[in-house]
A and B are shown apart, each in its own frame.
Chain A
């Protein structure tokens, strides 16, 4: 399968944009996404190949429109639900619950 993630040799993305003053994480949710992913890997919920494969299966347009850590977030949702570690209903219910008290985050 040819994945949008398989970028080596693609053309048209323009120059490499660098910013050496950038923080390691641009927002708290990026930190959390990173750490949760590492901890769930360590807990054996999924392995690194499954994690990458999940990102590589993202729809090309969605992959290009979203940021790096959003790819990680996508794979977390995808794998946890696919493996039944979390059900879709449970996840949606928690999202709705958090949205209501959103200002506490």
Chain B
């Protein structure tokens, strides 16, 4: 993060968190340097690429898919993904009959370990308030039209249980490798506000 102008007084939140950070370092609650490490992990190491690998593996390995749907927390350990705060992961399979979408109406719970940090809209009042009462209308705003004979299920995340959507594998990818399939899996397709990319586009 760059400082464009050092002469500008810090905004109020900048001052407040600096005060907390310095006091906590002095009291030995935080190691100096740990803040930068955490930021690096979330900015550079975690993100939807991790989830995309999980999805592509599930598409190509039926036994893994079965384990993933039966116990997401355990199956993810096979791909070296484990909870940050001991939260359980539940993977929701989207099918032609059921479309799944996730939210955290109270705040921002999100499957960090597979998707990284949530986008701002996921944490915003419009998404949190509306996806549970008019999911089809909200999904249409994302450009996703769910046919009326497909049920839409909205899962409200919490501190103990994080959900992730296993989207449907795109048609015409039968002979695709796991590595190639990864490229089709978008963040939004694992939230449920999108679907994977079409193979014809990539």
Contact = CB atoms under 8 A, between A and B. Distances in A.
Contacts of B38: 34-35, 38-39
Contacts of A73: 13, 16-17, 20
A48 interface: yes
Contacts of B20: 36, 73, 76-77, 80, 86, 91
B43 interface: yes
Given A17-B126, A32-B35, A85-B29, A9 B133 contact: yes
Contacts, number: 176
Contact of B129 (A7, A22, A27, A77): A7
Interface string A80-105: 10000110001100110011001101
Interface residues of A, number: 60
A15 B126 contact: yes
A56 B106 contact: yes
Interface residues of B, number: 57
Contact of A6 (B17, B106, B120): B106
Given A17-B126, A38-B38, A103 B132 contact: no
A29 B107 contact: no
Interface of A is mostly: helix
A43 B13 contact: no
B126 A29 contact: no
Interface string A16-54: 111110101101111111111011110101001100100
Interface of B: 1, 3, 6-11, 13-24, 27, 29-31, 34-36, 38-39, 42-43, 85, 103, 105-108, 116-117, 119-121, 123-130, 132-133, 138, 141-142, 156, 159
15 contacts: A7-B105, A9-B129, A16-B126, A17-B126, A18-B121, A29-B13, A52-B107, A69-B13, A86-B24, A98-B10, A98-B15, A98-B22, A99-B15, A102-B9, A105-B14
Nearest 8 pairs between A and B by C-beta? A8-B105, A35-B38, A28-B1, A29-B14, A10-B129, A94-B19, A13-B126, A35-B35
